[in-house]
Amino acid sequence: MTALSAMLSGSRFAFGAFGLLLLLLLSGEAGAQATFSDGSSLEVTADDGIEWQRDEQVYLARGNAVARRDDLTVRADVLAAHYRRMDDGEERIIRVEAIGNLQVETSNERVTGDRAIYYVDERVLRITGSDLRLVTENEEVTAAESLEYFERAEGGPLAVARGNAMLRRLQENEQVEGDVISARFSGTGGPDRSSLEQVEAEGDVRVIGDNVLATGERGVYYAAEQRAVLDGDVKVTRGQNQLSGGRAEIDLRTGVSRLLASEGTPVRGLLSQESLPEEENAQGESGE
């Protein structure tokens, strides 16, 4: 899965489009184009012009500002490149922003929000605002507060959705919800060049699969195995049947759910007249 990979598209924009935005803004033109070393080009246009604010140390493209490179397009009311003048006189970009009606699009990804901020040295991208949404060919991610991408996180690249967050895997028809969802990737270079390893969710966690709903306080979803582990006041509902306990292990691929007791929290079941599916296995073991 390439969940939140459009956030990396925003990150690529920060490295590429924002990195060259400074050169384009220096031209003072409302439409400008520069060429990368690989021969591809970046074009920035702005209806209301491009300006340099010396005292604020920022270059701005205003009014339906658009930056394009290959199949990547970034749109916003304002594109801004903040810089710091170094001791040797060089102007070094430290922060780049896309402000107002943000849209980042590639051939198969789209992310929307109100504002994106990319911190160059830290390699951190943060997108905020209303209608925070990422849509790819296989996934959809939404959040109420922010979408973030940390390229240099300990343990590998990390993408985080905050506030009533939801990650849906469209092909598998599986969904993870929580107050905060963190997606961890293998390898380096971000979601578009790495594979999703696991999704960690905290706060009002819900894992939804084919005819199964599991809730808890915390949860981990293992992408390759299509398996979830939840703990903290766990409930697993299948049809009219509900099991509760301290911990649950759910195989969404096979449909097998295993409920475990924790100290002070026995396994309980609320069953309808219909029997549980044969693959359902509830086991009351004591946790550590």
**Predicted pLDDT at 269:** 66
Residues 256, 99: Cα–Cα separation, whole Å: 47
More confident residue, 182 or 154: 182
| Residue where the block lists tokens 């293992």 | 222
Q: What is the pLDDT of residue 70?
A: 73
Identity of the residue numbered 236: V
Determine the average pLDDT of the residues in 100-121.
85
Residues contacting 82, CB < 8 A, separation 6+: 57, 58, 93, 94, 95, 96, 97
Question: Using one digit for the tens of pLDDT, what is the confidence trace for 156-207?
Answer: 778 899 999 999 988 888 999 999 999 887 754 444 444 678 899 999 999 9
Least confident of 8-22, 205-219, 246-260: 8-22
Give the residue among 189, 193, 60 at the shortest CA–CA distance from 123: 189
Mean pLDDT of 70-82: 84
pLDDT at 18: 39
pLDDT of residue 104: 82
Look at residue 3 and tell me whether its pLDDT is greater than 50.
no
- 229-263 burial code (b ≥16 CB/10 A, e <16): bbbbebbbbbeebebbbbbbbbbbeebbbbbbbbe
The better pLDDT of the pair 105, 15 is held by: 105
CB atoms within 10 A of CB 151: 19
| C-alpha to C-alpha distance for 230 and 223, rounded to whole angstroms | 15
Rounding to the nearest 10 degrees, give the CA dihedral for residues 223, 229, 232, 234.
100
Yes or no: say if 117 and 95 are a contact pair by the CB < 8 Å rule. yes
Asked if pLDDT for residue 27 goes beyond 80, the answer is no
Note the pLDDT tens digit of each residue in 255-271. Answer: 888 888 777 666 776 55
Radius of gyration of the chain (CA): 23
Residue showing tokens 């060049």: 193
- Here the tokens at position 269 are 């079941």
pLDDT grade, residue 110 (50/70/90)? confident
Where is average pLDDT lowest: 17-26, 51-60, 175-184, 234-243? 17-26
Strand ranges (E), the chain: 31-35, 41-45, 50-53, 58-69, 72-85, 91-105, 109-119, 124-128, 132-136, 139-143, 146-150, 158-169, 174-185, 196-209, 212-222, 227-238, 241-251, 256-260, 268-270, 281-282
pTM to 2 decimal places? 0.74
Between residues 44 and 182, the one the model is more confident about: 182
Q: Pick 278 or 78 by higher pLDDT.
A: 78
With 50 as the cut, is the pLDDT of residue 5 above it? no
pLDDT at 26 over 50: no
What's the pLDDT band for 138 if we cut at 50, 70, 90? confident
